[in-house]
Amino acid sequence: MHYKNDIFLKVVRGEEVPRPPVWLMRQAGRILPQYRELRASLKDFKELVETPDKAAEVTIQPIDELGVDAAIIFSDILVIPDALGLTYQMEEKLGPYFPKVISSASDIEALYSAGDAEARLQYVYDAISLTVRQLDGRVPLIGFCGAPWTILAYMIEGKGSKTFSQAKKFLYTEPLLAEALLDKITEASILYLKQQVKAGAAHLQIFDSWAGLLSSEQYAQFSTKYIGRICSAIQDVGITVFAKGAINALDDFAKLNCEVIGLDWTMEPDFARTRVGDHMVFQGNLDPCVLYASPESIKGYTIDMISRFGKKHIANLGHGVYPDTPLIM
Amino acid sequence: MHYKNDIFLKVVRGEEVPRPPVWLMRQAGRILPQYRELRASLKDFKELVETPDKAAEVTIQPIDELGVDAAIIFSDILVIPDALGLTYQMEEKLGPYFPKVISSASDIEALYSAGDAEARLQYVYDAISLTVRQLDGRVPLIGFCGAPWTILAYMIEGKGSKTFSQAKKFLYTEPLLAEALLDKITEASILYLKQQVKAGAAHLQIFDSWAGLLSSEQYAQFSTKYIGRICSAIQDVGITVFAKGAINALDDFAKLNCEVIGLDWTMEPDFARTRVGDHMVFQGNLDPCVLYASPESIKGYTIDMISRFGKKHIANLGHGVYPDTPLIM
pLDDT digits (tens, 9 = 90+) for A28-72: 988 999 999 999 999 999 999 999 999 999 999 999 899 999 999
- Contact of A117 with A185, CB cutoff 8 Å: no
* CB-CB under 8 Å, B322 with A290: no
* CB-CB under 8 Å, A324 with B172: no
> Is A120 annotated in the active site?
no
Contacts of A103 in chain B (CB under 8 A): none
Cα separations in angstroms, A64 against A52, A69, A153: 19, 11, 35
From the list B162, B163, B292, the residue facing A172 with the nearest CB is: B292
- Over range A230-252, report the average pLDDT: 97
Kindly write down the DSSP assignment for every residue of A92-122, as one continuous string: TTTEEE-SS---SHHHHHTSPPHHHHHHTTH
Q: Which residue in the list A3, A35, A69, A76 is annotated as catalytic? A: A76
How many residues are listed for chain A in this entry? 329
Contacts of A245 in chain B (CB under 8 A): 212, 245, 266
pLDDT digits (tens, 9 = 90+) for B5-51: 999 999 999 999 999 999 999 999 888 999 999 999 999 999 999 99
- Over range A208-220, report the average pLDDT: 98
Task: Report the pLDDT value the prediction gives residue B5, as an integer from 0 to 100.
Answer: 98
> Is A88 annotated in the active site?
no
> Cα B148–B152–B157 angle (5° rounding)?
155
Please state at what angle helix A165-173 crosses helix A148-157, rounded to 10 degrees.
100
* CB-CB under 8 Å, A172 with B324: no
Select from B208, B266, B298 the residue whose CB has the most chain A CBs within 10 Å, as the one to mutate to test that interface.
B266
Domains assigned to chain B = 7-317 (3.20.20.210)
Select from A172, A248, A324 the residue whose CB has the most chain B CBs within 10 Å, as the one to mutate to test that interface.
A172
From the list B266, B292, B322, the residue facing A212 with the nearest CB is: B266
Average pLDDT over all residues of chain B: 97
From the list B160, B172, B216, the residue facing A266 with the nearest CB is: B216
pLDDT at position B114 over 70: yes
With cut-offs at 50, 70 and 90, classify the pLDDT of residue A329: low
Q: Which residue in the list A39, A138, A229, A273 is annotated as catalytic? A: A39
- Over range A302-313, report the average pLDDT: 98
pTM of the shown model: 0.97
* CB-CB under 8 Å, B214 with A169: no
pLDDT digits (tens, 9 = 90+) for B94-109: 889 999 999 999 999 9
Q: Where are the beta strands (DSSP E) in chain A?
A: 71-72, 89-91, 95-97, 141-146, 203-208, 238-243, 260-262, 281-286, 313-317
Contacts of A271 in chain B (CB under 8 A): 248
Distance from CA of B327 to the nearest CA of A (A): 15
Task: Report the pLDDT value the prediction gives residue A91, as an integer from 0 to 100.
Answer: 82
Contacts of B169 in chain A (CB under 8 A): 289, 292
Contacts of B162 in chain A (CB under 8 A): 160, 162
Task: Report the pLDDT value the prediction gives residue A45, as an integer from 0 to 100.
Answer: 93
Average pLDDT over all residues of chain A: 97
Task: Report the pLDDT value the prediction gives residue A98, as an integer from 0 to 100.
Answer: 97
From the list A215, A294, A297, the residue facing B265 with the nearest CB is: A215
Select from B149, B168, B215, B248 the residue whose CB has the most chain A CBs within 10 Å, as the one to mutate to test that interface.
B215
Task: Report the pLDDT value the prediction gives residue B60, as an integer from 0 to 100.
Answer: 97
> Is A229 annotated in the active site?
no
Catalytic residues of B: 26, 30, 39, 76, 154
- Over range A134-147, report the average pLDDT: 98
- Over range B173-183, report the average pLDDT: 98
Helical (H) or strand (E) element with B284: strand B281-286
Q: What is the dihedral of CA B297, B302, B308, B313, to 10 degrees?
A: 170
pLDDT at position A1 over 90: no
From the list B162, B168, B289, the residue facing A289 with the nearest CB is: B168
> Cα A51–A54–A59 angle (5° rounding)?
120
With cut-offs at 50, 70 and 90, classify the pLDDT of residue B329: low
A–B interface: beta-carbon pairs under 8 A: 80
pLDDT at position B328 over 80: no
Task: Report the pLDDT value the prediction gives residue B142, as an integer from 0 to 100.
Answer: 98
From the list B165, B268, B292, the residue facing A322 with the nearest CB is: B165
**Rounded to the nearest 5°, which phi and psi values hold at A287?**
-55, 125
- Contact of B141 with B202, CB cutoff 8 Å: yes
Task: Report the pLDDT value the prediction gives residue B184, as an integer from 0 to 100.
Answer: 98
Contacts of B220 in chain A (CB under 8 A): none
- Over range B280-289, report the average pLDDT: 98
Contacts of A288 in chain B (CB under 8 A): 163, 165
What separation, in Å, do the N-terminal and C-terminal C-alpha atoms of chain A show? Answer: 31
Q: Among A83-92, B245-254, B307-316, which is the least confidently predicted range?
A: A83-92
**Rounded to the nearest 5°, which phi and psi values hold at A323?**
-60, -30
- Over range A135-160, report the average pLDDT: 98
How many residues are listed for chain B in this entry? 329
- Contact of B254 with B275, CB cutoff 8 Å: yes
Task: Report the pLDDT value the prediction gives residue B1, as an integer from 0 to 100.
Answer: 85
Task: Report the pLDDT value the prediction gives residue A328, as an integer from 0 to 100.
Answer: 77
Q: For chain B, which residues lie within 8 Å of any Cβ of chain A, measuring from their own Cβ?
A: 160, 162-163, 165, 168-169, 171-173, 212, 214-216, 218, 245, 247-248, 265-266, 268, 271, 287-290, 292-294, 297, 319, 322, 324
For residue B263, give the chain A residue with the closest CA.
Answer: A215
Helical (H) or strand (E) element with B107: helix B105-109
Task: Report the pLDDT value the prediction gives residue A94, as an integer from 0 to 100.
Answer: 81
- Contact of B140 with B3, CB cutoff 8 Å: yes
**CA atoms A184, A190, A191, A196: torsion sign:** positive
Task: Report the pLDDT value the prediction gives residue A92, as an integer from 0 to 100.
Answer: 76
* CB-CB under 8 Å, B293 with A322: no
| Bridge pairing between strands A95-97 and A89-91 | antiparallel
- Which of A88-92, B159-163, B180-184 is modeled with the greatest confidence? B180-184
What separation, in Å, do the N-terminal and C-terminal C-alpha atoms of chain B show? Answer: 31
